[in-house]
């Protein structure tokens, strides 16, 4: 985790303090459940609760104990015992294994992380929608292969991103369900020493489902699905970031990241205004995607469990959620403050002298009964000449003898029309924003 | 694609013939729609349909044309024009782009592939369920870290895998929805030259949703999600395969892959019976997971589209679905014919002289009022002695003076009980197989 | 392997025919060695050699036998026995294991693949060098963050790529050594049934090193290093391909892939000329990089060996080398036929009205005794005004009162100089092409 | 970076303090060079040197400035200016860009990291060699597919690992060269404002090569190669870790990680002694390998440079080297203190009743003139009977009528010999440890 790429709430979610707090909650809820089914002396949980009111765990002390025992949960329990007294502590963790605590805690943290990420996406969606409506009918050239194709609008670009991040949100909700699961099933998951009702109770208190079958650990296909989903979302972030980087290129100049007062673009070249935020998001996306593979390799644990997944999760649990949280927010800000240059968009549209209307001419020729192949050849010939020479495509078309045979001057003029390409913007917006699909 | 790791139906799904057939369907359905909204001369689709009855596309001829035009869809359309006559063909593909055909076709193929994979999972699930019930109460040692922990049953192992592959199926159904989408939106996706109703009609005919907003191409986050899901499923295959490989180890000997008559395990060592099928599945899993990254990198296309995704998909479209289809089936077969050795399982359970009951002693001591720490130390001391010396753990415990102070001989004897660990098998089976969760 | 992305010689290297030919060579060389050390009846190898003169293995027959034995090497040996007679065949493969044949064969194939790839790089290097010298002093704008920075030359761009691919070649030579290794060490690699001298002899005949210690298989860290190196080279291909895609953008227009007669850029938009070859290379690069992970996972085989690596290598052995071979060649062609537009480069350089000389003004101000911070502020102020307003940077600078205090008009004019930026091109070329570094 | 998986010296290498120290060195060396060629006032570097004697940079102050300027190098230079006085500072960084500092600094850090890792490998190699010689002739069963194959020695296992990590070291040395490169080439790398001799001087002072051609940044194929190499080494760590995990399995019991006094294996099962260190190394290996992909994606920067690589390197620069450093050391310790059980190895060898000698019988039969196919069938029949029934393979072979026809009892007895398999241990050791290869 790199501080510069992190936000406070997500970092707190992964703090030692929060982790110990969740461990304690799990132990306490488990005690409550055991009491209610009679497997623990009545009143125990109440005493523990009182003794540990406003408890803040001494992380250093726990670490100290761990250095001796080489076992973090035992260190925690020992410290807890120091606080509540060993007599009161004796039913704590009864019939449970470390994994019951660790895995359920991870579920709580990932689940919380998912909530934060969903909130992030909501903000991004709002900003995209705002921009989409603001520039709904602002014409801009659509590009395929980086080459001018046909006009579209800047609002449609934003609407596309909106639809993509709605999918991202849906996927995250689905993936959250996958990791919102609680296991308190004891050694190798047989419940031999802990009643399944304890698991059911604790799950409910924590807002999780209970794991139908665990093997001491929660199966790691769940986590792999979660981290893979983060990877896909990171890919979508990169797509939008790449779009902005392209549009901010000197030669394109259609949008620009907000450039704050006092900001320096380059230590050596004072004139530079660089799309550094979206470039940064591109890099952050690589980081998040890099964590997919370790997560996938974590699935195939040996037999009922091995601990190889643990170090991986200590890294990718915090790092991928913290990085993604930061990246989504950064992108939200970029979109919110994006500087858009509609005039430059229009200039670019017109820069090819009408070439971008080639398809329309082609279609009109076929409508007039000329075969597709002939029409294509006719249009391509003029396009090539325009591309390589000095005359504009429009001029060439208007003066092409073969074309003039079938299309009159006023018919031809009408074909070079920008508005023609915007006819269905409304329909698409209906689909995207009003769910008419 | 490697023939030896493929199955016929999935291979057919990706054949040139099938692809051209789907392209034709899309073009024909589009024509029908255009006719119905009046943008194409009435009767056109009927003529095309008749002319192309029982059409089988000449793959060689299409490839020949492509070598000249460097463009596969144009090659196809040219060949189609040769079949139905250029006059009849002139409305075909009107207002459409190659991507409309290519992307929608890919959706049809991926969607079909998903169906085949779901069927595969159904067979695997059935086999796992059968084995789970057959060995529901067959005791076997549960292992954490590869070390004997506490008893479980072989049925529970199978039930765990069942639950995992049910999740796999659910994920696949979710991912299938993501790629079941049709786009016929024309250049840069504005519908300038094609009415959105055409897209809606074709989508319906093909059993797909229509893409709310496309940019000439269907957004690649959808495909990335699909291939990532396949990666996660591959990880689950590896987990189960690894379990079997472990259990077939010479020293463990609890299960064995079926070894067919005439099979040779090793060219040099005639005695060998190796778990080669599950080892193979492990490798196949790596292959499928290796395709996740390219799919993730495919998301960030430039502007409205670039063609960099295409070569990737030509490879991973077929290869990841064909490989996964083969691997699931191979695993289904392994499970179906799995040779299980319950006697060896029991021998292994007993091999540690009662050590595996250490937790139960520990818990009973705490129940008798001894602190957790003391109890732990007491049990661990005897365990260490058993581990390093000649006496069994059970003997040591039965003769430990401190323990005998609080637990009588008959109480102690009862703690070394296998059945104790099987008490909740029924509950877990209820959860897994009857959805009581 | 996708035919459309393959070249003949590399495909042949991976053909069944070639594989069986290599297997035969290994068996024959091994026989020769065994004869020479007296462990096989004298004359055997000569008979086998005669019997199998001009042998072409019947792939179908071998596959047929394999379907029964489930073992490819045994199938091969059985077929070989059919050809040379079982009596003559009885010493073939003596003391060897399948892996001896399979792994050594893979080394021969990978080694050959490396040679082909090195040749590919040589051609690419030649084309890059030609272009570098042709455009050595052709000014073009250097861009950081996609934003105009300062001038450079197109020759320098090519020279950078040259240096990068020289490193690629060096790495490939290093990686080739890693996989050029022969193992004929028998079961679990102890040479119990085969003399180490046989391995040494066969290695020499095949132009390989012998593996100092194998465990029936050649260790897979070697292959992982090889495939990782291919991944790095693929990354370099993507870098150069990306450069060209950028430069061909409509707004940039500085270079263009060759567009052949009859080629169609778009089925719908006849005017399009798209950088499809470099986009394709970008995708192919993803494919090759996707194979790095499976190769890395292949390293950790169980004990002396398991067969999980095999299916992976059946795929990535051919696929990554065939794809890379194709991609390098495609890029070589693109470079060779690249259409370069020096005029457009100059137009682009001048498009920012002198802004790109901002650093030079900054440095001159500090030379005149103004502090770095003040100088930066002074230049940035004018740059911002030029960026946002109508006046050019040059005009603003020439009329800035504070600047005019320290720099005279003729001094200032000289600072807006293109040639200034080209002073060290020669030095760099010396370093890159004459190894003066 | 996770503190628990880190070692002090490597962490220090990546500290802010060290980074600023290196930045300062670069600036100072550059000043010295500029003075010596007359482009900076004589005496400047001396003054700076004095003013900054024993300098410790105030990380907080630099961060404070960065929050305003959004630029780390400018923040550093501003702070440096505060220390040495703005007048003295005015030649610092002259003609340089941030990347000159950042990239060269990264080279220094990666180069130092490589040295530390090489030292780590040296310790591991020493420990492996010690264990190899200690158990040179300690027989243990060789396993293919997890199934007993033929005998080998534990020393050979260690020797194999030794050879593998020697390759790892060689690769690291090669990869270190790749990133030991210095660039001070100014904006877009043309040296327009900085003489190439400055770069050459600074490179020499820092013990680096100078980059023949840079584009403001050092090309990222170098870093990709470095991180890929770390990935391969991580794979080798996993291989050895996996071996130990396997050998420590309850059923195998041939080795054990050292289990320290006071250590607790399981919070619930006091008897457990788990191979947690090697499981941990397995996980750490996944982490390091997960960083290969982001490094590969970093290669294709846009034009002369973009900043997307930066965030990736801030993470993977420290994290992959810190993690690998820790993992190698952990593995060294595991090897050094490894508890080995030669008796259990022998017990395991004998557990299959002679089956592991099947190849030897097979070969002897062919020597006696029986065809390979017949011999194989003969041996396999007895092996299958031994596998499935109660009689040992040896008993069955000694009583097989067909075999007894060609092999006498005393001949047969001699074939069941352990020593036979150890004949070439010496030869292999010569190859591995005395470089006789």
pLDDT tens, residue by residue, B300-309: 999 999 999 9
Domain that holds residue D377: 355-415
| A126-140, A198-212, A423-437, B311-325: the lowest-pLDDT one | A423-437
User: What residues are paired with A257 via a beta bridge?
Assistant: none
CA dihedral B352, B353, B357, B358 (to 10 degrees): -80
User: What residues are paired with A118 via a beta bridge?
Assistant: none
- Same domain membership, residue D309 and residue D186: yes
On chain D, the residues whose CB falls within 8 A of the CB of A191 are none
On chain C, the residues whose CB falls within 8 A of the CB of B264 are 69-71, 74
Q: What is the C-alpha separation between A310 and A151, in angstroms, rounded? A: 52
Neighbours of D60 (CB within 10 A): 8
D174, burial (CB in 10 Å: exposed 0-12, middle 13-18, buried 19+): middle
Residue B436 lies in a domain: no
Domain boundary among B293, B325, B346: B346
For A402-419, write each residue's pLDDT tens digit: 999 999 989 998 898 899
Using a pLDDT cut of 70, give the percent of chain B over it. Answer: 97
For B321-342, write each residue's pLDDT tens digit: 999 999 999 999 999 999 999 9
Q: Which one, of B148, B378, C254, lies nearest residue A304 by Cα?
A: B148
Chains with 3+ CB–CB pairs under 8 A to B are A, C, D
User: B280 vs C2: CB contact, 8 Å cut-off?
Assistant: no
Q: Which residues of D121-140 are buried (b: 16+ CB within 10 A; e: fewer)?
A: bebbbebbbebbeebbebbb
Nearest chain B residue to D262 by CA: give it.
Answer: B377
Q: What is the CATH number of the domain that holds C371?
A: 1.10.40.30
Radius of gyration of chain B (CA): 30
- Same domain membership, residue D328 and residue D360: no
Residue A110 lies in a domain: yes
How many residue pairs from chains B and C have C-beta atoms closer than 8 A? 158
Residues A145-159 have a mean pLDDT of: 96
Q: C427 CA to chain D: closest CA distance, Å?
A: 8
User: A196 vs B427: CB contact, 8 Å cut-off?
Assistant: yes
For chain B, give the longest Cα–Cα distance.
Answer: 102
Higher pLDDT: A18 or C1? It is A18
Locate tokens 């002298």: which residue? Answer: A353
pLDDT of residue C271: 67
Q: Which pairing describes strands A147-153 and A139-144: parallel, antiparallel, or unpaired?
A: antiparallel
pLDDT of residue A259: 78
- Same domain membership, residue D377 and residue D336: no
pLDDT of residue B388: 77
Q: Which H or E element spans position B210? A: strand B209-210
User: D240 by DSSP, 3-state: which?
Assistant: helix
Nearest chain C residue to B327 by CA: give it.
Answer: C311
Catalytic residue from among C42, C70, C145, C268: C145
Residue ranges of alpha helices (H) inside C207-252 are 221-248
Q: A278 CA to chain D: closest CA distance, Å?
A: 8
Cβ–Cβ under 8 Å, residues D104 and D194:
no
Terminal-residue alpha carbon distance, chain C = 40
How long, in residues, is chain B?
A: 437
pLDDT of residue A268: 64
* Mutation for A interface: D234, D267, D284, D314, most A CBs within 10 A: D267
- Same domain membership, residue D363 and residue D341: no
pLDDT of residue B273: 82
Residue B424 lies in a domain: no
Residue B252 lies in a domain: yes
* Mutation for B interface: D231, D246, D269, D295, most B CBs within 10 A: D269
Domain boundary among C328, C346, C364: C346
- Same domain membership, residue C369 and residue C319: no
Measured CA distances, A325 to A12, B115, D335, D392 (Å): 13, 35, 41, 63
On chain A, the residues whose CB falls within 8 A of the CB of D78 are none
Residue B80 lies in a domain: yes
- Same domain membership, residue C328 and residue C289: yes
- Same domain membership, residue A223 and residue A127: yes
Catalytic residue from among D42, D70, D144, D145: D145
On chain B, the residues whose CB falls within 8 A of the CB of C245 are 302, 306
Residue C179 DSSP class: H
User: A372 vs B431: CB contact, 8 Å cut-off?
Assistant: no
- Same domain membership, residue D116 and residue D17: yes
For A48-71, write each residue's pLDDT tens digit: 988 888 777 888 889 898 888 778
Nearest chain B residue to D142 by CA: give it.
Answer: B250
Measured CA distances, B431 to A111, A199, B162, B167 (Å): 23, 13, 12, 14
Residue C355 DSSP class: G
Nearest chain C residue to A262 by CA: give it.
Answer: C377
- Same domain membership, residue C164 and residue C24: yes
- Same domain membership, residue D71 and residue D32: yes
ipTM metric: 0.94
Catalytic residue from among D15, D266, D351, D371: D266
For D404-424, write each residue's pLDDT tens digit: 999 998 999 889 889 999 999
Q: What is the CATH number of the domain that holds B21?
A: 1.20.200.10
Residue B433 lies in a domain: no
Domain boundary among D321, D346, D371: D346
A357 has a pLDDT exceeding 90 = no
Given pLDDT bands bounded at 50, 70 and 90, which one contains residue B34?
Answer: very high
Given pLDDT bands bounded at 50, 70 and 90, which one contains residue A269?
Answer: low
Residue D79 lies in a domain: yes
- Name residues of chain C where pLDDT drops below 50: none
Chains with 3+ CB–CB pairs under 8 A to C are A, B, D
B84 has a pLDDT exceeding 60 = yes
- Same domain membership, residue B383 and residue B327: no
- Name residues of chain D where pLDDT drops below 50: none
Locate tokens 């890294």: which residue? Answer: A315
Neighbours of A38 (CB within 10 A): 9
- Same domain membership, residue C320 and residue C194: yes
Residues A357-365 have a mean pLDDT of: 87
User: What residues are paired with A148 via a beta bridge?
Assistant: A143
Q: For residue D198, how far is the Cα from the chain centroid? A: 35
User: What residues are paired with C201 via a beta bridge?
Assistant: none
A369 has a pLDDT exceeding 80 = yes
Task: Say which of C164, C192, C224 has its CB closest to residue D150.
Answer: C192
Q: What is the C-alpha separation between B19 and B11, in angstroms, rounded? A: 12
On chain C, the residues whose CB falls within 8 A of the CB of B30 are none
Active site residue C421: no
Q: What is the C-alpha separation between A150 and A418, in angstroms, rounded? A: 9
Q: D335 CA to chain A: closest CA distance, Å?
A: 18
Residue C266 lies in a domain: no
On chain B, the residues whose CB falls within 8 A of the CB of D265 are 147
pLDDT of residue A254: 97
* Mutation for A interface: B77, B296, B308, most A CBs within 10 A: B296
* Mutation for B interface: D145, D268, D349, most B CBs within 10 A: D145
Residues B351-360 have a mean pLDDT of: 85
Residues A22-41 have a mean pLDDT of: 94
Active site residue A145: yes
| A86-95, B75-84, C265-274, C390-399: the lowest-pLDDT one | C265-274
On chain D, the residues whose CB falls within 8 A of the CB of A264 are 69-71, 74
Tokens of A407: 């299309």
How many residue pairs from chains A and B have C-beta atoms closer than 8 A? 313
Q: Which pairing describes strands D181-182 and D209-210: parallel, antiparallel, or unpaired?
A: parallel
Task: Quote the number of domains for chain D.
Answer: 2
Cα dihedral D381, D382, D383, D387 sign: positive
Residue A96 DSSP class: -
């Amino acid at each position: 985790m790199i501080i510069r790429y992190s936000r406070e709430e997500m970092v707190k979610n992964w703090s030692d303090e929060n982790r110990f707090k969740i461990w304690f909650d799990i132990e306490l809820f488990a005690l409550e459940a055991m009491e209610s089914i009679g497997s623990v002396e009545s009143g125990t949980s109440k005493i523990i609760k009182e003794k540990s009111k406003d408890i803040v765990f001494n992380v250093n002390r726990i670490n100290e104990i761990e250095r001796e025992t080489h076992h973090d949960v035992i260190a925690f329990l020992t410290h807890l015992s120091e606080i509540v007294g060993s007599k009161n502590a004796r039913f704590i963790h009864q019939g449970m294994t470390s994994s019951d605590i660790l895995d359920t805690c991870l579920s709580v943290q990932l689940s919380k992380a998912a909530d934060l990420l969903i909130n992030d996406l909501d903000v991004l969606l709002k900003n995209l929608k705002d921009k989409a409506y603001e520039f709904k009918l602002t014409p801009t050239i659509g590009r395929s292969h980086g080459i001018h194709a046909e006009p579209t609008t800047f609002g449609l670009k934003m609407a596309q991103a909106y639809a993509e991040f709605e999918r991202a949100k849906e996927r995250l909700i689905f993936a959250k369900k996958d990791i919102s699961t609680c296991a308190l099933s004891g050694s190798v998951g047989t419940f031999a020493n802990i009643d399944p009702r304890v698991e059911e109770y604790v799950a409910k208190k924590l807002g999780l489902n209970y794991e139908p079958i665990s093997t001491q650990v929660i199966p790691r296909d769940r986590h792999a699905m979660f981290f893979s989903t983060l990877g896909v979302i990171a890919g979508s972030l990169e797509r939008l970031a790449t779009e902005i980087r392209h549009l901010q290129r000197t030669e394109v100049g259609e949008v620009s990241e907000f450039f704050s007062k006092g900001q320096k673009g380059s230590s050596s070249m004072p004139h530079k205004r660089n799309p550094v935020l979206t470039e940064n998001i591109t890099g952050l996306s690589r980081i998040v995607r890099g964590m997919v593979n370790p997560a996938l390799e974590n699935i195939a644990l040996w037999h009922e469990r091995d601990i190889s997944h643990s170090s991986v999760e200590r890294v990718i649990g915090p790092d991928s959620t913290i990085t993604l949280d930061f990246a989504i927010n950064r992108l939200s800000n970029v979109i919110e403050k994006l500087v858009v240059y509609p005039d430059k968009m229009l200039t670019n549209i017109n820069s090819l002298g009408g070439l971008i209307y080639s398809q329309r001419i082609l279609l009109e020729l076929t409508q007039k009964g000329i075969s597709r192949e002939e029409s294509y050849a006719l249009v391509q010939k003029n396009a090539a000449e325009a591309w390589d020479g000095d005359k504009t495509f429009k001029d060439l078309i208007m003066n092409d003898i073969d074309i003039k045979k079938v299309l009159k001057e006023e018919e031809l003029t009408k074909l070079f029309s920008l508005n023609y390409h915007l006819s269905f913007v409304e329909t698409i917006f209906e689909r995207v924003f009003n769910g008419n699909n």
